[in-house]
Amino acid sequence: MTVVERREIALVDLLDRLLAGGVVITGDVTLRIADVDLVRIDLNALISSVNRNVPSPFGD
Amino acid sequence: MTGLRYVYAVCRPFDTPLQAQLGGVAGDPPRLLPHGDLVAVVSHVPEADFGEEALRAHLEDLDWLTATARAHQQVVDALTAVTTPLPLRLATVFRDDSGVRVMLEERESAFRRTLDRLEGRVEWGVKVYVEPERTEQADSERSAAPAEPEQRPVSGRDYLRRRRRQSRANEDLWSRAEEFATGLHRTLSGRADDARLHAPQNPRLSGAEGRNVLNAAYLVGRDASEEFVEMVDRTKDDAPGIRVELTGPWAAYSFAGEQEGTEEGAGKKAGEDS
């Protein structure tokens, strides 16, 4: 087993924190949390369309 | 028209200047907006991109989302170098400075409580992956009798036997991985001030090899971080077929909510806000 310390931050690690973490404040411009969760889902779809070469179906 | 205000984080006032060449979201270098004994870190962003409709559309654009997320992180990271910021969720946008001030005022006591709780602490991310495709290799390394390493199956029966062995090896690996991840999480939680479990990452999103079985975040004092990292590092020899990844130090994104000591997914904390 190896412990990998990456210099470049992976986008997923970033989104785990920026879309699911951080203080949630209803700003003047409101994106409801449901919308943001939706973004996550759409993002999944988006990436799967980008990675068409990967054969296996969706894991989750 | 000076645009909308994008807020990255809330901090206590700090003296050290921010690193000079910070781009900021939408290319607007971050500015400090002090109010009372709190400071909001903001950029001016165009309504055409950060108004409600536009923002919703943009968030589904992976390139835009990537650039914005990285710019956001870059600013929060720079803040982390000089203070302990309380990061806000991506795309928290206000009409103008006074909207930001009102927000700071309304939430002052909650911000102060959370800032006190996070003071001097950073977040470390630890992920555990299982790599079943490596089982055979790992297995033959461990096995006392690496009898038929690379040979093709000689018969149907031979093939089935190998398949069975492979599937047993995988099952064994899964249960070891689960045990390993649980043990590691327990150990690291014991060394951290707080812990959160994120949902395991989809390999198609992460592009990472193997299956993500633990995706955790730990809140650790800066002065205890070296020891924490060493502890993660020491797990490296523990288990074949299992990989541990460490990320950080992050600002305490996963601990910015007000609930303490729970280990629900960070997304669940959203409900406390209204």
pLDDT for position B69: 92
Read off the pLDDT of residues B131-187 as tens digits, 9 standing for 90 and up.
875 444 444 444 444 444 557 778 888 888 888 888 888 888 888 889 999 999 999
Show me where the domains of chain A are located.
11-50
The partner residue sitting opposite A22, judged by closest CB among B65, B89, B208, is B89
Task: Convert B224-259 into a string of H (helix), E (strand) and C (coil).
Answer: HHHHHHHHHHHHHHCCCCEEEEEEEEECCHHHCCCC
Residue ending a domain, choose from B79, B95, B118: B118
Coil, strand or helix: which one is B127? strand
Q: Which residues of chain B have pLDDT under 70?
A: 1-2, 133-150, 236-238, 258-274
Q: How confident is the model at residue A56 (pLDDT cuts 50, 70, 90)?
A: very low
Q: Cβ A28–B250 below 8 Å, yes or no?
A: no
Same-domain status, B93 and B134:
no
- Residue B89 sits at φ, ψ, to 5 deg, of -65, 150
User: How large is the average pLDDT for residues A11-40?
Assistant: 73
Same domain, B100 and B167: no
Instruction: Name the residue in chain B with its Cα closest to that of A38.
Output: B60
| Whether B93 and A27 lie within 8 Å, measured CB to CB | yes
- In this prediction, residue B240 carries a pLDDT of 82
Best CA proximity match to B69, nearest among A15, A29, A45: A15
Residue span of the structural domain in which B37 resides = 4-118
3-state DSSP assignment of residue A50: helix
Q: Do both B72 and B145 map to the same domain?
A: no
The contacts of residue B169 (CB under 8 Å, 6+ apart) are B135, B136, B139
User: Do B70 and A14 make contact, defined as CB atoms within 8 angstroms?
Assistant: yes
pLDDT of residue B63: 85
- What is the model's pLDDT at position B273? 40
Q: Is A1 close to B243, i.e. CB distance below 8 A?
A: yes
> Are B166 and B259 within one domain?
yes
Are B211 and B179 found together in one domain?
A: yes
pLDDT at residue number B86: 97
Same domain, B23 and B144: no
Nearest to A27 among B92, B241, B267 (CB): B92
Q: Which of B247, B255, B258, B264 best probes binding to A when mutated, by most A CB atoms within 10 angstroms?
A: B247
CA dihedral B58, B62, B63, B69 (to 10 degrees): 80
- How close, in Å, is residue B131 to chain A by CA atoms? 10
In angstroms, the separation between the Cα of residue A59 and the nearest Cα of chain B is 7
pLDDT of residue B225: 96
Domain count, chain B: 2
**Residue B26 vs residues A60, B29, B47, B69, B89: alpha-carbon distances, Å:** 33, 9, 11, 11, 16
Q: Which residue has the tokens 């990989």?
A: B243
Q: What is the mean pLDDT of residues A45-56?
A: 50
> B-chain residues within 8 Å CB-CB of A3?
232-233, 235-236, 244-246
Of the residues B133, B201, B205, B213, the best mutation for testing chain A's interface (the one with the most A CB atoms within 10 Å of its CB) is: B205
Do B153 and B136 sit in the same domain of this protein? Answer: yes
The structure tokens listed for B59 are: 């968030």
Could you say which DSSP state residue A2 is in? -
Do B60 and A42 make contact, defined as CB atoms within 8 angstroms?
Answer: yes
Cα dihedral across residues B29, B36, B255, B199: positive or negative: negative
Of A17, A35, A59, the CB nearest to B202: A59
Of B53, B88, B118, which one is at a domain's C-terminal end?
B118
Which chain B positions have a beta carbon within 8 Å of A16's beta carbon?
Answer: 125, 198-199, 201, 215, 254, 266
The reply to whether B27 and B12 lie within a common domain is: yes
Write down the pLDDT at residue A40.
Answer: 59
- Tell me, yes or no, whether B138 and B259 share the same domain: yes
Smallest CA–CA distance from A30 into chain B, residue: B52
Which phi and psi (to 5°) does residue B262 adopt? -95, 160
What is the pLDDT at residue B2?
67
pLDDT tens sequence across B199-208 = 888 777 777 7
- Give yes or no: residues B190 and B72 share one domain: no
> Would you give the distance in Å from CA B50 to the centre of its chain?
24
Residues of chain A contacting residue B269, judged by C-beta atoms under 8 Å apart: 24
Q: What is the predicted pLDDT for the residue at B175?
A: 87
Q: Are residues B134 and B76 in the same domain?
A: no
Clarify whether residues B93 and B135 are in a common domain: no
Instruction: Give the domain-ending residue among B118, B141, B171.
Output: B118
